[in-house]
Amino acid sequence: MKYLIFLSLLFAGCSTVPTNTPYQVTGKGNSFEQAKHDAFTKAIEYKLGVLVVSDREQQNLQLVKNEILTYSGGYITNYSVINSTNQNNYVTVTMNVDVSESKIRDRVLGVGTSVSNINGTQHKTQYSTYIADRQLGDRVYQKILTDFHKHAFIIDQKLHKFMLDKNRNSVLIIPYTLRWNYDYLEALNEILGKLEDGTNGFRKSNPGTITIMAKNPNDYVLGSRNTYKFNDVKRVNDLNDYVTGYNELRIQVTIRDTNQRTVYNKCVESNSINGKKPSFYRTGNDFAIFGNQVDNSEISIIIPYRSDLYQIMQNISRIELSVANVQKCFT
């Protein structure tokens, strides 16, 4: 059963409200807390804009999934209630709200207004809305990273050659080109720009960075280098997890017979993974994607005389190369 997943990103409603300007919003809900958080969400979206992630899945040309997530990347630093009404258990609350973007210098959520007094309600709001922002950001990020190998790379299969080796074995040679999907890298740039939380000053290091170097294949320019700084290293660790171990990139070779049954199935390493060619990426806390790297190579399948594959060679009708990961190769 074939399926496709479409990921699309766009910004909507980006505001030009000055950074330190509080403004008035109205929230609604079945309780005061629901109404308050509805107002918080509207305030953040109005202040910082909305990143929309759409995940669509098709099976047999039928749309079976259409999920939309939105993300703004901000938290509430302060608020005051102007008015609240409760009619038929439906609450409306109007507030003045201060919003900050989730790029936090030195990890400080807020500061006190006097030496001895502390506003616990304000600090709890700062922290709870920040955590809610992180959790929603995790969901959006995971949506982009799901099936990373499948969406991030494109493989172009070339005309095969049928040859002999020095030992009289027949050899099926399949040339290919494996490269990054530039549209996917653009989507990754969009979400990382929203998730970035490292805004440390000059010559101050960040616990983690992600750099994407890529050139639009339709342009003649040299390309761009975008570096995203993170105090929250989970963002960098998540990306590492999606390209290493059981998620490491493989090329799957499938040979089918005239009845479309699989008669040969094997996974091989790209030369940009096994070190024979420059790498597609660098892992670690300073993760880097080399988006212009292309692996132009070929896969050789030896078919010895009287081997199992030789015995059914006359029934072979189709060769397919696809992008997979280690886990898929074991299933």
Give the percent of the chain with pLDDT over 90. 31
Where is the domain boundary, 101, 125, 145?
Answer: 145
CA-CA distance, 178 to 241, in Å (whole number)? 21
Q: Does 77 share its domain with 164?
A: no
Residue 35 · residue 25 · CB < 8 Å: no
Pair of tokens at residue 231: 């105090």
* Residue 114, C-beta contacts closer than 8 angstroms, at least 6 positions apart: none
Angle between helical axes of 182-195 and 120-145 (0-180°, round to 10) = 170
CA-CA distance, 210 to 162, in Å (whole number)? 43
Give the percent of the chain with pLDDT over 70. 78
Print the domain residue range for 272.
Answer: 153-329
Q: Does 45 share its domain with 137?
A: yes
> Is pLDDT at 115 greater than 70 in this prediction?
no
Region 119-139: mean pLDDT is 75
* pTM tops 0.85: no
Pair of tokens at residue 127: 């922290």
Q: Does 192 share its domain with 269?
A: yes
Q: Tell me, what's the pLDDT at 4?
A: 40
- Residue 125: phi and psi, rounded to 5, are -65, -45
Q: Tell me, what's the pLDDT at 118?
A: 61
Q: How many domains does the chain have?
A: 2
Where is the domain boundary, 145, 171, 203?
Answer: 145
Burial of residue 222, with CB atoms counted within 10 A of its CB: 0-12 exposed, 13-18 middle, 19 or more buried = exposed
Q: Tell me, what's the pLDDT at 223?
A: 79
Where is the domain boundary, 95, 126, 145?
Answer: 145
Q: Does 257 share its domain with 197?
A: yes
Q: Does 125 share its domain with 175?
A: no
Q: Does 126 share its domain with 209?
A: no
> Is pLDDT at 325 greater than 60 in this prediction?
yes
Q: Tell me, what's the pLDDT at 21?
A: 67
Query: How does the average pLDDT of the chain come out, rounded?
Result: 81
